[in-house]
Amino acid sequence: MKARLWIGLLCIGVLVGLATTFRVYTAGFDVYAKTDILVWTMPLAAYIFLSLTSSGLAFCCSIPVIFNIKRYEIIEKRTVFLEISVLLGAFVCLILHLGSPLKVFYLILSPNLASPLWWLATLYGIYLLVLLMSFQKIHSGKTSKPLCATAFFIAIGTATVLGWLVGMTDARPTLNPNFLSVFFPLSAFACGLAAILVFSLLTAHFSGKQIPEERMAVYNDIAKLFGVMAGVTLLLTLWRTIVGVTSSSSLEFAAFRHMVKSVSFNIELWLGLVLPFVLMMIPSVRKSTAGKLTATVLFMVGMFAGRLEVILSGEIMPLGAMAEGRADFVNYLPTIWEVFVALFGISVVLLVYTLGDRYLQLDAVHE
């Protein structure tokens, strides 16, 4: 009964998303809070959040295959399928960020080899194909080290290139490509670890299955590693904050100083980084299922808010001719349709993963 109710709720989320898709297709960007200043909004933030989480899951998948740590093989199949589910949700958000699904076909049929954005989209397409092939191998009871290694290196490439693309504009120093190209992959790894714990533990809870001792030992190891990566992410965020607040380039970093006071930044810092890190440093909390879930869910919420904060910090302050006759900073409040886009992407992730868990024996271990 619980499973049917859960799938029903996710189907409603997908139906709302399809209605949103039709609305975006017919009305275009008018349904978003986009302006000539705010060209990046919540749909892009949702895409960045999900795509980086998928990359982080690829790093996790490499542990048993590339680094030959065999006891992690018991979570490999589940992790690869979760990676596919999250990437599909990311594609949903990206398509709707473009304003019309038809633009995806234009991107495919009219390639621009000089565009880094086109190369990034191509990499993600290859990435999905490699993941599907890798999962098919695992599902048949085998594994492929070349496929896993390919997915691992593509994930590194997409995470670093995404940081480079976001930070391409020299006039927006808060979007520093050198920082983001390091911050995105490291925080993606932390997101991947958090996603494994959240999805695996919640699936076991709602299905009423007892987690075997060997599998729980792996989850405890992942929780330790997650605590370390949450600490690394917190440290990088603190350094970014220190540089942004104390920088002598007062004009260029004024947008970041403004964002430090925002709701999204404080959710990211305190609820999404500081609190999960503190929780994971307490052994009794780290070993408990409730402690793992609380810390990882808070971290994922914080990272979503953080992705939104990052893109807004680079555009809320009008520059050049755009600043004439405008306030120093523009305000942003997502429209209901932007919220529905994020809900659509997350619903796709959860529905695909739920169906996979039900029918594809995700706890099976290859020979």
Question: pLDDT by residue (tens digit) across 62-73?
Answer: 888 888 888 888
Q: What pLDDT shows up at residue 365?
A: 74
CATH homologous superfamily of 34-359 equals Formate dehydrogenase/DMSO reductase domain (1.20.1630.10)
Whether residue 300 contacts residue 57, with contact meaning beta carbons closer than 8 Å, is answered with no
Q: How many CA atoms lie within 13 A of 48 on its CB side?
A: 29
Burial of 243 from C-beta contacts in 10 A (0-12 / 13-18 / 19+): middle
What is the number of other CB atoms lying within 10 angstroms of the CB of residue 266?
16
Whether residue 159 contacts residue 55, with contact meaning beta carbons closer than 8 Å, is answered with yes
User: Taking residues 192-214, what's their average pLDDT?
Assistant: 90
Q: How confident is the model at residue 248 (pLDDT cuts 50, 70, 90)?
A: low
**Residue owning tokens 């997409």:** 158
Q: Which residues contact 79 (CB under 8 A, 6 or more apart)?
A: 57, 60, 61, 196
Nearest to 289 by CA among 229, 224, 354, 220: 220
What is the number of other CB atoms lying within 10 angstroms of the CB of residue 340?
24
Q: How confident is the model at residue 101 (pLDDT cuts 50, 70, 90)?
A: low
Q: How many CA atoms lie within 13 A of 174 on its CB side?
A: 26
Q: What is the pLDDT of residues 263-298, one digit of tens each?
A: 999 999 999 999 999 999 999 999 999 999 999 999
Residue type, 142: K
Residue 45 corresponds to which tokens in the numbers above?
Answer: 């933030």
Nearest to 308 by CA among 292, 291, 332, 283: 332
The DSSP line for 126-141 is: HHHHHHHHHHHHHHTT
pTM of the complete model: 0.95
Residue 30 corresponds to which tokens in the numbers above?
Answer: 């008018």
Whether residue 182 contacts residue 159, with contact meaning beta carbons closer than 8 Å, is answered with no
Whether residue 24 contacts residue 96, with contact meaning beta carbons closer than 8 Å, is answered with yes
Compute the Cα dihedral for 41, 46, 51, 53 and give only its sign. positive
Q: What pLDDT shows up at residue 207?
A: 77
